[in-house]
Chains A and B, each alone.
Chain A
Amino acid sequence: MTVTLIPGTRRTRPPSVQPREARRSRPALRRTAVAWLFLAPFAVVFLLYTAIPTVAALGFSLTDLRGADLRTPFAVNFTGLENYARLFQDETFVRDILNTALFVAVGVPLTMGIGFALALTLNSGIRRLRGVFRTVFFAPVVTNVVAVALIWQYAFNADGTVNKVLGAVGLGGPNWLDDPNLAMPVVILLGVWRNFGTAMVLFLAGLQAIPQDVYEAASLDGAGRWRQLRHITLPLLLPTTLMVSVLLTVFYLQVFDEPYLLTGGGPLGSTESVALYTYRQFGSGEFGTSSAASFVMLVLVAVVSVVQFRLLRSRT
């Protein structure tokens, strides 16, 4: 099992170099028609639910479209970049960008750190129970976020299990989800718990792709475990590390479920993310503003993704 996200894309064959006449010949036309027939089901869904909505979102973001205008689309006015200007003057939007940045800045390193440490341990030559551990650590990845958020609410409510444990060691537990300073850490913890298994599996795949004889040569030369980690494992794992970090960044930039379910963005907006802002604007019928906010998100995600491709191209 190898990580194929990017390397695979380079396996596309170069476009055929037949002369023009040949390419336009009937068999070539037929081949193209047949191929697009194969692609048709995907293409229809892609056009309907990705291509058109993306273009439309850009269009909406330049208008004052509201929910009530959906039946009278021609009454909508073109307002240029007004939505975007208003967005960045909106204190709650700026706050939500900072909240999202915090989620990424804390969540990504934490998720990666735990995933990497576990992958390293599971790959350190232990045999027994290895499969069991991997199953356990990966199980949170397949859980339903609504269900887990309920467990979190139960555990972190004022009289909940977490505070009961804290009380047992003599600490008074706060009301976690009602405290503007403590709600975000609880939300981040939920995200980390559900995602470190993904990081672990990707790191494991990366570690297993490193040839064993490199380590054997190093230990013959007298390199200890730490030096092997620093000078062999980490450098050879760089493409994986890069991929995991961008994957999680793109993922956490779009964080919605966790704050929506745990806190609804509160208390005092302290856990509201950009995606939640988009949803709130949509909910109150401000489709233009909502689309503008979502386009800011799309640009952010695209920038991170492009940086990923560039970095990976230059490294591998």
Chain B
Amino acid sequence: MTLYRRPLLYGALILCALLTMLPFALAVSGSLRSLDEIRADPGAWIPEHLTFDNFTRLFATEGFGGFMVNSIVVALMVVVGNIVAASAAGYALAKLEFAGKRLAFGAVMAAMMVPFSAVFVTQFVITVDMGLADTLTGIALPGVALPMSVFIMRQYALSIPDELLEAARIDGAGEFRIFFRIFLPLAGPAVATITIMSFLASWNNFIWPLIVAQSMSTYTLPVGLAATSQAAAHVTDYGLMLAGAIVVMLPVLLLFLFLQRYFVQGIAGTGMR
């Protein structure tokens, strides 16, 4: 039994890995096929003639360049907001003693649990009232202080010894000075995790931008992809849809390949994404 065990395990793992990668392979092969080829035989595996025409069309006529800029702008707002809001809040929740601390932490935990479908109607009404409907700010704002980020920072801050901060306090340093000069330089790993996680949440967010964005000028990539593919599906333009799918997925997949540790830590630490 032990003799066969290792090859069997590897065999099973390789099979599972291939099955997992299958949708990616299908997307790549489909995106490189021409419209005529797909119409002639939609289910074929391998492109007969490779063409980048689908990718060119996305940017030349479907406006994906604009969608991508919008996605990047929204993601930047979300990431910067999360770094600022979560570092400060997480530090306070872990390292400061004050009235209402339990209430504040309860709010963070509750916010992680409230289902999106319970709040989006009012969120939308508030967004309209603030004059932020159909704006990138309106899309980004609910995500700029994710409870998940606060939780990650609080957990990290708990692991930093109090003595470090106490020493500075005894030397007469103010709370803000301690936060910026002593805590933040030590919080690098948590900031990295928060950056990755909030970027992922923003880049992949779909329903909220779909509700807020009402014109092509504010579409983010997922919303633009959904709109483009709805039209493309009617004319079985699968190549264009799959090319769009790759353009949307690729940046995150590349980031994931290089910064895998932070993705895994973030998701294992909170169970969220």
Q: Can you list, as one digit per residue, whether each of B253-273 has a CB less than 8 Å from chain A (1) or not (0)?
A: 100110010011101111101
Q: Can you list, as one digit per residue, whether each of B84-112 has a CB less than 8 Å from chain A (1) or not (0)?
A: 11101101110011111110110111110
Given contacts A42-B150, A124-B9, A294-B118, contact A201 B267 (CB under 8 A): yes
On whether the beta carbons of A137 and B126 are closer than 8 Å, the reply is no
A36 within 8 A of B: yes
Given contacts A4-B155, A39-B104, A151-B27, contact A279 B117 (CB under 8 A): yes
Q: Can you list, as one digit per residue, whether each of B231-273 has a CB less than 8 Å from chain A (1) or not (0)?
A: 0010000100110111011001100110010011101111101
Given contacts A5-B271, A38-B91, A151-B23, contact A121 B12 (CB under 8 A): yes
Q: Which of B118, B120, B269, B271 contacts A298 (CB 8 A)?
A: B118
On whether the beta carbons of B20 and A139 are closer than 8 Å, the reply is yes
B19: nearest chain-A partner, CB-CB: A193
Q: Which of B1-44 contact A (CB under 8 A)?
A: 6, 9-10, 12-13, 16-17, 20-21, 23-24, 26-27, 30, 41-44
A295 within 8 A of B: yes
On whether the beta carbons of A294 and B142 are closer than 8 Å, the reply is no
Given contacts A34-B96, A161-B43, A250-B113, contact A141 B273 (CB under 8 A): yes
A11 within 8 A of B: yes
Name the B residues within 8 Å of A49 (CB-CB): 119, 123, 126, 141-142
Given contacts A39-B92, A41-B88, A41-B89, contact A205 B268 (CB under 8 A): yes
- A192 CB to closest chain B CB, in angstroms? 11
CA distance A162 to B116 in the complex (A): 34
- A242 CB to closest chain B CB, in angstroms? 12
On whether the beta carbons of B242 and A154 are closer than 8 Å, the reply is yes
Chain B interface main SS type: helix
- Give the residue among A48, A53, A126, A295 with the most B Cβ atoms within 10 A: A53
Q: Which of B6, B207, B244 contacts A147 (CB 8 A)?
A: B244
B192 within 8 A of A: no
Q: Can you list, as one digit per residue, whether each of A120-162 has a CB less than 8 Å from chain B (1) or not (0)?
A: 0110101001001111111111111111101111110101111
Q: Which of B96, B113, B121, B147 contacts A287 (CB 8 A)?
A: B121
On whether the beta carbons of B114 and A50 are closer than 8 Å, the reply is yes
On whether the beta carbons of B97 and A9 are closer than 8 Å, the reply is no
A287: nearest chain-B partner, CB-CB: B121
A76 within 8 A of B: no
On whether the beta carbons of B175 and A34 are closer than 8 Å, the reply is yes
A196: nearest chain-B partner, CB-CB: B20
Name the A residues within 8 Å of B91 (CB-CB): 38
- A193 CB to closest chain B CB, in angstroms? 7
Given contacts A39-B89, A151-B245, A198-B271, contact A53 B30 (CB under 8 A): no
Chain A interface main SS type: helix
B152: nearest chain-A partner, CB-CB: A4
Given contacts A8-B155, A46-B107, A151-B245, contact A141 B267 (CB under 8 A): yes
- B139 CB to closest chain A CB, in angstroms? 12
- B95 CB to closest chain A CB, in angstroms? 9
On whether the beta carbons of B263 and A142 are closer than 8 Å, the reply is yes
On whether the beta carbons of A157 and B42 are closer than 8 Å, the reply is yes
Name the A residues within 8 Å of B264 (CB-CB): 1, 134, 138, 201
- A237 CB to closest chain B CB, in angstroms? 15
- B40 CB to closest chain A CB, in angstroms? 10
Name the B residues within 8 Å of A32 (CB-CB): 98-100
B115 within 8 A of A: yes
A selection of 23 A-B contacts at a CB cut-off of 8 Å is A12-B105, A15-B102, A38-B92, A39-B104, A42-B108, A43-B104, A45-B85, A45-B144, A49-B123, A49-B142, A50-B119, A53-B126, A121-B9, A133-B17, A143-B253, A146-B226, A147-B222, A147-B244, A151-B27, A151-B30, A257-B207, A279-B207, A290-B121
Q: A54-B119, A294-B115 are in contact. List 13 more A-B contacts (CB 8 A).
A: A8-B154, A44-B145, A45-B141, A46-B145, A52-B122, A126-B13, A135-B260, A142-B256, A144-B245, A150-B229, A151-B27, A159-B42, A291-B121
